Amino acid sequence: MSEKQNIQVTVTPQYLEDQSAPESNQYVFAYTVSMENCGRIAAQLLTRHWIITDSDGKIEEVKGPGVVGEHPHLKPGDSYQYTSGAILETPVGSMMGSYQMRDENGDIFNATIPAFTLSAEVVFH
């Protein structure tokens, strides 16, 4: 990725205790993704690719077009935020992935989604 193509991604996860059912091995998490175009060229999000891993080592891959039904177009300096969710069978897991982007010149590149932890066991204040 060149300095022209620089999409910074940060994720804030949250355990949703009221929607979870630990007795049924169902742990529900929300995560809010913020992405900012820190580059010098506009880019549009095309697809998403998530790798979700629970603490038993079970891996689920999620691929698809856009995010929450949208394909945000980010000019330099623009940011975009959305919230989505994941359900795990264990109280702890992790997520990571990438967004496939296309810049205004038609070049395709990936914006990395850094790994983050989903945890129902530790509450951060």
Query: Quick check: 41 and 105 in contact, CB under 8 A?
Result: yes
Domains located in the chain, CATH noted: 7-114 (2.60.40.1470)
Q: What is the pLDDT of residue 4?
A: 80
Query: Quick check: 115 and 96 in contact, CB under 8 A?
Result: yes
The closest alpha carbon to 13, from 92, 76, 79, 73, belongs to: 92
The closest alpha carbon to 74, from 112, 107, 36, belongs to: 36
Q: What is the pLDDT of residue 84?
A: 97
* The pair of three-digit structure tokens given for residue 27, joined into one six-digit string: 């742990």
Ranges under pLDDT 50 in the chain: 123-125
Q: What is the pLDDT of residue 3?
A: 66
pTM for the predicted model, two decimal places: 0.91
